Amino acid sequence: MNVRKLALIAVLTVAQTASSLPAFAESAASAPASTAAKTAAADAASSPSPSATAASLTGTESPAPTVSPEASPTTEQPGATPEPSASALPSASPQPSGAPLPTGAPAVQIPASTAGSGQLVLMMNSNKMYMNGVLYLAGQPMAVKNGVSNVAIRAMVERVGLKLTYNGATKETIIIKDGNELRFKTNSKIYTVNGKATLMKGPAYQYKNTFMVPLTSITQALGIPYTVDYVQKRVILTLQTKPKASFTVQPSEIFAGETTVNYVTSSQAFNGATIVEERWEGRQDVFAQPGYYTVSYSVRDSNGQWSDPYPVTINVLKPNQPPVAQFTTNKDEYKMGEPITITNISSDPDGDALTESWSNRALAFFNPGPVPIQLTVTDTHGHSSTFEKVINITNEVLYSQEDFNKLFVPLGDIYTINGSVVPTWNKVTYTVSSDPITLIRSNSPETVNSEGIVYQETAMGSSRIMVHHKNQMSTNMKMYVIATNDNIYPATITTQQSGFGGPLDIPTATGKKSIETYLQSMSMGGVYDNVTLQPGESKPVLTAINNVTMKPGQVISLMSDVFSDYPVKYSIIMIDATKDPLQTLPTLNYLDRDGVHNRGTYPDANRIITVTDPVGQAPSRLVLGDNNTDLNLKGMDALSGTEASNSGNFGVVYKITLTRVAPNTLITLNPRGGKYQGPLLVNGNIIEAPNAGAVDAPNQNSVLYRTSNLEQTVEIVFTPASGSNLPINLLFMPLPPQKTE
């Protein structure tokens, strides 16, 4: 062979070597890499195509793998077979540090098996892989398919210390890592982690009964960093080898000399190892002195590797000090019926919040003699303190109990009256009108025993949707208000004010909460919510109702005012909490009424009451919801096509204006049909009726308002709270004169 021919061969060899970048270098920039790897990745931009590159590494054309969808990965070569030949690989002679190689000497080749602890070496275009100096053989070589490097997944995953299973029904390969489930499917570019899909650079496939996946995808899925060694034609994966240790301490507050600390440990070993030893530094079960203490925890695995120490700084507090209960009264001696002012001046040395419990506390006393008043306060750690003071009540009378209650019982609180005389009081005279708002009331069947449509109606313009139902089924349920646009034009629904209560197992409490939030929405105003429905489209609206799950026995209550520019069909449904409402709606049946409670569609659901005559100079009353003085709204049950009467006028908003309320007038709410529990809006302020519990008929009153020394206008917004009883009376009575002490 002549010199010219030898030179030509040398040039071709250099050119071939320069072009031999691996096909998976397209993702090297996204993984940790050495400087040499980064340089090679940059050179790859001008290198031949991936397929050609891969072929140049072996000197042969890469065979196109044949996909065999019917083949099961379970027949893949089990794991990778370790070969003892790794120990026979020649090792490079060490060179003196910094010594140059002799002129013309060949570069020293690092053995392919040489790698750091916890590193897995995959050879390019080969089925060889090295771990801890041991050679393993994968079922198939690393192969290039459509420019993407693929590896045999089973051999690689087993080296990482994970287990692989195969689902023949779905043709999915399943890997469990750190409690997460990864699924790869034959001939799919998608893999999932706990159901969340991620796109791969190429599809997974099977070749000669070996399941192959893109290298960069499996390293990304398993969170394994890697580098590319272009000289040795290998990929080096850095595995997690050191175990991990962590711990928490309980309880959250630790007091010096008092608290026994509970250390809750958590540790993890990798690559099939187990935790065999643990080590603590600074641990104490009880810390004697307050201050900051650092405790660290380490574990050793069965491979002899220690984890990094896991430190936690513990703030040890001074021993908790009990609170100090204390209160004062503005006097030590009082007349009967004289207001008592009590000021709680309790304190806690640690600044803890205190709960208070009173014994024998009253606004006034109406029997003479010594009266002990007791206060107990408790801090957040359960330590408590009690203080008692004795005051004296003389034989003198400042106010009778009846007069005292009228003058001093706080707004929203209850006091007792002789309810039998109330029907003898004059009824106030008023004018009544209405606003054109349509009430859609869904309250029957109140107790729902099966899935279905509890009510359905089509309305346009101003509408009020009122819902009150109980889940009587044995499973968790949800309720929805689904709006459907059956028009040929888009329809917009605007929510103007809305209130919601529940889910709770107390019907009166849910009704009270829904009216309270409705009145808050009304008084505060705010941004309206708009929903646009395209022709034929359905959407859940008033989503507060479907954001909660109703457990068996629980009740929800909703009241919302909406406006639509075109007719909209509202379907109110109760379905299993796991079901999709839009898919389930067409399958539901209409539920029958229960024969006791009310449903229907009612026009003119805002009732405007104006009282122009003076009130308060003598006892009088305004009766609401009795179907006599205040008639029930009349409407239709849209599902049965029968006439409906809105008993109690639930869902009706009464807007009451008293233009001339006398000076020193007391206004109260007195139930007449049973217990009542719900708020009112009085001159723009929400007043609970009552603040706690319920007002009982007929001998209890809840205080709503007192006028000053001047005549004034009083505006009251009232709407009956679901779960409560109607009718109610608003009572107006003169206050007794104030006395000096």
Interval 446-473: pLDDT, tens: 999 999 999 999 999 999 999 999 999 9
Q: What is the mean pLDDT of the chain?
A: 85
pLDDT-wise least confident of 33-42, 281-290, 594-603: 33-42
Please give the pLDDT value at position 147.
86
* pLDDT tens track for 298-350: 999 988 889 999 999 999 999 989 999 999 999 999 999 999 999 999 999 98
Q: Are strands 226-229 and 262-268 parallel, antiparallel or unpaired?
A: unpaired
- pLDDT at 164 > cutoff 80: yes
Please give the pLDDT value at position 125.
87
Tokens of 477: 């349920």
Distance CA 275, CA 269 (A): 6
Q: At what angle do helices 153-160 and 215-222 cross, to 10 degrees?
A: 30
Distance CA 126, CA 141 (A): 4
By the 10 Å C-beta count (0-12 exposed, 13-18 middle, 19+ buried), 255 is classed as middle
Q: What band does 526 get if pLDDT is binned at 50, 70 and 90?
A: low
The answer to whether domain 244-317 has CATH 2.60.40 is yes
Q: Which amino acid type is present at position 168?
A: G
Please give the pLDDT value at position 395.
96
- pLDDT at 218 > cutoff 70: yes
Q: What band does 155 get if pLDDT is binned at 50, 70 and 90?
A: confident
* pLDDT tens track for 266-289: 998 876 688 999 999 999 999 999
Whether the full predicted model's pTM is greater than 0.85, yes or no, is: no
CATH of span 119-238 = 3.30.457.10
For 176-188, give one letter per residue: b (16+ CB within 10 A) or e. ebeeeebbbbbeb
Q: How many CA atoms lie within 13 A of 259 on its CB side?
A: 22
Please give the pLDDT value at position 66.
34
Quick check: do 119-238 and 244-317 share a fold?
no
Please state the domain extents for the chain: 119-238, 244-317, 327-398, 400-434+603-740, 437-602
Q: Are strands 119-123 and 128-131 parallel, antiparallel or unpaired?
A: antiparallel
Please give the pLDDT value at position 113.
64
- List, as one string, the DSSP characters of 367-436: S-EEEEEEEEEE-TTS-EEEEEEEEEEEEEESS-HHHHHHHHSPTT-EEE--GGGGGGSEEPP-EEEEE-
Please give the pLDDT value at position 15.
36
- pLDDT at 555 > cutoff 90: yes
Percent pLDDT > 90 in the chain is 65
Fold of the CATH domain 327-398: Immunoglobulin-like (2.60.40)
Sequence-ordered list of residues with C-beta below 8 angstroms from that of 694, at least 6 positions apart, any chain: 508, 675, 676, 677, 724
Q: What band does 231 get if pLDDT is binned at 50, 70 and 90?
A: confident
Distance CA 719, CA 678 (A): 9
Please give the pLDDT value at position 6.
41
- pLDDT at 535 > cutoff 90: yes
Please give the pLDDT value at position 409.
97
Distance CA 117, CA 303 (A): 11
* pLDDT tens track for 653-710: 999 999 999 999 999 999 999 999 999 999 999 999 999 999 999 999 999 999 999 9
Percent pLDDT > 70 in the chain is 83
User: Hey, is 215 helix, strand or coil?
Assistant: helix
Average pLDDT value for residue range 346-373? 95
For tokens 């306060």, the residue is: 377
Q: What band does 51 get if pLDDT is binned at 50, 70 and 90?
A: very low
Q: Is the CB of residue 316 less than 8 Å from the CB of residue 289?
A: yes
Please give the pLDDT value at position 105.
37
Angle at 712 between CA 708 and CA 715, to 5 degrees: 110
Strand partners, 321: none
